[in-house]
Each structure stands twice: as structure tokens, then as C-alpha cells.
Amino acid sequence: MVLRKLPGVSASGMGLRLSQKFVFLLFLSGLVTLCFGALFFLPDSVRLKRIFLSKNESPAVTVGSENELSKKVPGDPEHQRAGLKGAEANLKLKVSRKPSVTHGARTVERSVGSRAQDEWSPARAHEPAARDERVTAAAHNQEHSSSFNYEAFKKCLLKPPMGKDQGTPSDSGTLQRREKVKEMMKFAWDNYKLYAWGKNELRPLTRNGHIGNMFGGLRGASIVDSLDTLYIMGLMEEYEEAKEWVQSNLDLNSNGEASLFEVNIRYVGGLLSAFYLTGAEIFKQKVLELGEKLLPAFNTPTGIPRGVINLGSGTSWSWGWASAGSSILAEFGTLHLEFVHLSELSGNPVFTEKVMNIRKLLDKIEKPHGLYPNFLSPVSGNWVQHHVSIGGLGDSFYEYLIKSFLMSDKTDEEAKKMYYSAMEAIEMNLVQKSPGGLTYVAEWRGGILDHKMGHLACFCGGMIGIGAEDAPAGQKQHYLDLAGQITHTCHESYSRSATKLGPEAFRFDGGAEATATRLSDRYYILRPEVVESYMYMWRLTHDPKYREWGWEAVEALEKHCRVDAGFSGIRDVYASSDSHDNMQQSFFLSETLKYLYLLFSDDDLLPLEDWVFNTEAHPLPIIRKACSTDGQTPLE
């Protein structure tokens, strides 16, 4: 090769300069590679975040994609259960994985959200900040939790939790119905015990257990979810078995990815209730241990937790199906009741601080038409998408506002104010009357109404009912009427089907009146929301129709969902022959059967003057300031 001579530069001189440059460049790139390499190969790869992101930032790791989501059949239990399936493997491959469709949550929504933006390889090691916080909380809990005085707490209750006679109704017809519900619980429990003991749910057709991925490797969801139901129903042998399992087998040292929301409402809620009802120390010990493990989820720039947390490392992620790495209103808005009780039991304010921070942010942020959209960025603290719903993705946030007010012995004025202004906005923008005269709550997408109501949204009859008492002047009757009308509509969605069970979603357009128009909305997975509203409306009005409607539901469950080895959801409530989904959901034991049992009991069983139910129907006591925390000054 002939080198053309550059002016003033000899051939050998030019060669020297070129090789010098080459060596220099080589050195430079080596240096850069070394620096980055060192960072990546440090045992804690999270260090990168501390260099490139702000102090509390932890990168959004997306799990799943909307495209994958829409390929699955929503009624398919595998789809509903998909959750974090294959999470570990997929994350290692850095690919989008199956979405979380936490069927059990009111956050279930299959068609919203866009493919989330970033895909990160998550940190596998402990994040030191998370670890430190856990260690501090654990130390604090150990030091202070023994100061919670259970006997003093009991004296603070206005009435005995179990009523004067376990809520036994005086008329024999109602008693017989209640006995039937108890028998259903025993049947569901016995089969779970026989075929799925220690697993999360029973698969009644194949007679085996299901573990799933929602609980981050925790086991025994049906056991923890059932503790209080068994106790309330007086199934004491079964309750003792459940307690013994918690004592000997509930291992909280799992290392999987869990839905923060699901673990909170089922495990934290279940253990808290079991402790408050029975006083058994083991439940308090376990729930405080679990509460500590959830704390790192709040380590985001805003303190709004992400949806998924690794219970081992404390690292958290956003759901892949959630718009642009956002967090879900119904998930981060459904922690308040349990976290306040964690502080109450531990004497450690950190739990309350975390949820109060969420509350403050939501109170301050601008709301379109006074409405709360379902997706919020945990990084910027801004809404990500203007989809509003009192059903999936939004629901229990509203429920926890009014229940926080009630649980605070009506002292939490902020929760009260936020609840009633949210209700006003909902009434103004979402509440509709169908051509046939049915009142329903539509969904809102950037100002456009979607005339559908999900089964999940049917809880709001009960919620609006219990909120009526403290409504702004002159509105009490209005709210009671609205609660009654919505509960009536939800009952219609049941009575218009062949099975007398309601579909997952029903519509009010194209001539539909409370019926599902899409095949994919026709399933029923043993959900509680409709009977939940019957129970509250019964307590508030004593209108016998609510007990009749509850009994219709019992008969339909017996006819269509009872199989040889438990209860199962069905795929089509309009079909003349049943196709079962092979899943006995844990919320069937914790909620559906508990609400039915309470519906046929006297009001003094878990009186509403003393108890609020979390969104998984676990009763939590109202905190009376005079008796709070130190437990020293009980009301007499």
C-alpha cells in the first residue's frame, strides 16, 4: 500500500503518530471498559443506580407486555393466575414476561395500559437501603411490640366481637341458611385440606394444589385468608389446624416476586384480623415480620410503591402491563388500613408514615374533574393516563378512604374530605341511569364514558352505604338511596343470567341492560363483591330483600360451583351447562362465605361500631385514640 505523503510529514513520522493515536485510543477505551466493567461486576449491581439515578430512585423494571396479555383468554384461570409466572427465568433473560393479571385483585384489568417503556435487568442482591430499613424496623418491633396490651385493647371495644351469642339469629329459617353457609365453608376447607394443604389454592377438578406467583413464594394463602372466617363460624378444630400451620409452616423468608397489594390484603390483613380476634401472639409476630419485608417497596423517588416486590431482596418493579412503568391506584391506595395497624401493634410509626405520604401526594396532585386516574408514575408523581374506574384498578382506593376515616374513630378528617369529594366527582361524571332505569357507575377514559360495570365495582353499593352516615349535611338519604340502587343493579346482573350468578363485566350500551355482551366477560370466579354489598345493605336497612338475594346466591353457588372436591368458578354464567375453571379462590373462603355468613347472622357479630373490614373481608378494629398504642387507658 502506498501512503500519500502529507505536506510536512514524513512517512515514518506519520506512521509513528498514527500508532501513537491508536495506542492512546486503545488505552482510553480500555479504561472506559474497565470502569464500567468494575461497576457491573461489583457484587451489588444496584450501585449503578446510585451513580446514574437520584438517591432514592430504583429503576422501573417492567414485567410482561400488553400484547402477551391480550393473547390470552381473560376467562382462562391460567390467565387470571398468570401473575408473575416464570418471573425469575424471564427476568434473567431480560425479556418481557407474562403479565400479572391478579384476578384476585380489583386491580384486574386486561385491556388497559401500554407496553411499559424500560426493561431492566433487576438487581438480584439486597439493596442496602432496603436492608437497613428492614433491620431498623425489626429492631424497633422487637423492642416495642411486646408493649401492645391485648387485654387493654379488648376493653376498648364497645361490644364483644362475637356478639352475645355468636350472632345466632333468632328465627329458625335464617339460622338454617346460616348453617348452610357454614357447611359450605367446611366443605371448601376440608377439600383444600385433603388435596392442597399448604398450597395457595385448591384445584377442585384435578384435586391438587395451586401455588401461582402472586405471593412471592409465600404459601398457604387459603389458610391465612381463612383464619378469621373459621374462627367467626365457630369451626374451632379447623381454626386450630390453621393456626398450627401458621406457627410451624408459614415461612416468610421467601425470595420471590410478590404483588405488594395481594400480600398486603390477604396475608397482612389475614394475620392482623386473626391476632385481633384471638390474641394469639404468633399472628402478631408473623405479621410484623412480614410488614418489615414490605417496607423497601416504598423506596421510590415519590414514596409511591411499585406493584411488585421481591420479598427477599426488597427490590421492586412496576407491572409490565401498567402504562409507562406506573403504579396502580387501587394497589398503592389499598395499604392504609393494614399499615396503620402495623404501627399500632409495633409502636413503630414508620408504617403509618409510608401510607400518609401516599395520602398527602394524592391529596395535593391536580385531579381531572376531581377524579383520580388509575395510573400514577412513582418517579414523577404525575398521572400517566386518564382512565378512571370505581371497578378494577381504582376500586379499593375509594373504599380505603372512607374506611380509614371510620377506622380512625372518625378523626381522620383528611380521608373524610377526600372520600366525599371523590364521591361527588364520581356522581357528577360517572354515575348513569340506563334506558331501563338501572343506576350504574360507568368508566371514564379521558372524558369519554365506557358504559360498563365490572363485578369488582359492585362492592361500591356497600361502600356508599357505610359512607352515608357521615355525608355532608342533607346527603345521608341520598347516599343510602344511591347505594340501594347500585346494589339493585348488581343483583339484576345476577338475575338476568341462566345460572343466577353474575358475569365479570356487564354493559349498558347496544341495548344491553346489566348483561355481558362479550364472550370474554361471561365468567364468574367466586367473587364476593355483590354479596358484600348485600351484607352491608342488610345491616344498614334491614330490608329482607337483601337476605333473599343472598340466599339466591347461595343456591346458585351450590348448583353451579359446587363440585365433588370443593367449589369452582364457571366460565359462562349464561350457559345452560357448567364449564368449571378448576380454581377455588382463597377469597371465596375469606370474603364470599364470610359475607354470606354475616348476612344471616345478627348484627352483633363483628359490630360495625367496632370493626371495619379490609378489602379482603378481614375485620380490623377501630382505633380509639384514648386507648391507642400504649393500650393503657381503655374505655370502660
Using rule CB under 6 A, residue 220 touches ligand DMJ:
no
Write down the least CB distance from residue 606 to ligand DMJ, Å: 17
Using rule CB under 6 A, residue 104 touches ligand DMJ:
yes
Write down the least CB distance from residue 395 to ligand DMJ, Å: 7
Write down the least CB distance from residue 529 to ligand DMJ, Å: 6
Q: Where are the alpha helices (DSSP H) in 350-470?
A: 350-364, 395-407, 413-429, 460-467
Q: What are the respective helix, strand and coil percentages of the chain, to the nearest 5?
A: 50, 10, 40
Using rule CB under 6 A, residue 105 touches ligand DMJ:
yes
Write down the least CB distance from residue 387 to ligand DMJ, Å: 18
Task: Say if CB 352 and CB 89 are below 8 A apart.
Answer: no
User: Is the CA virtual torsion 419, 422, 428, 432 positive or negative?
Assistant: negative
Among 49, 97, 98, 106, binds ligand DMJ (CB under 6 A): 106
Residues 569-598 that bind ligand DMJ (CB under 6 A): 587, 591
SS (H, E, C) 447-476: CEEECEEEHHHHHHHHHHHHHHHHCCCCCH
Candidates 11-19, 101-109, 303-311, 479-487 — which segment interacts with ligand DMJ by CB under 6 A?
101-109
Pairing of strands 62-63, 316-319: parallel
Write down the least CB distance from residue 455 to ligand DMJ, Å: 7
Task: Say if CB 260 and CB 331 are below 8 A apart.
Answer: yes
Among 507, 615, 620, 624, binds ligand DMJ (CB under 6 A): 615
Helices 336-346 & 281-294 angle (0-180, nearest 10): 120
Q: Where are the alpha helices (DSSP H) in 430-544?
A: 460-467, 476-495, 529-541
- Quote the longest CA-to-CA distance of the chain: 114
Residues whose CB falls within 8 Å of the CB of residue 548, separated by 6 or more in sequence, listed in order: none
In the complex with ligand DMJ, the residue whose CB is nearer, 115 or 580, is 580
Cell matching residue 32 = 472506559
Amino acid in the structure at residue 527: R
Among 616, 618, 619, 627, binds ligand DMJ (CB under 6 A): 616
In the complex with ligand DMJ, the residue whose CB is nearer, 528 or 550, is 528
Residue 21 burial (CB count, 10 A): 10
Candidates 104-112, 169-177, 550-558, 622-630 — which segment interacts with ligand DMJ by CB under 6 A?
104-112
Q: Which of 238, 338, 504, 529 is catalytic?
A: 504
What is the per-residue binding string for ligand DMJ in 513-532, x denoting contact by CB under 6 A? --------------xx----
Candidates 103-111, 350-358, 474-482, 549-557 — which segment interacts with ligand DMJ by CB under 6 A?
103-111
In the complex with ligand DMJ, the residue whose CB is nearer, 46 or 181, is 181
Using rule CB under 6 A, residue 315 touches ligand DMJ:
no
Write down the least CB distance from residue 580 to ligand DMJ, Å: 18
Residue 504 annotated to the active site: yes
Task: Say if CB 217 and CB 597 are below 8 A apart.
Answer: no
Residue 26 burial (CB count, 10 A): 10
Candidates 37-45, 99-107, 275-283, 506-514 — which segment interacts with ligand DMJ by CB under 6 A?
99-107
**CA R_g for the chain:** 27
Amino acid in the structure at residue 233: M
Using rule CB under 6 A, residue 460 touches ligand DMJ:
no
Note the residues at the interface with ligand DMJ (CB under 6 A). 104-106, 265, 396, 456, 527-528, 587, 591, 615-616
Q: Which residues are part of the catalytic machinery?
A: 504
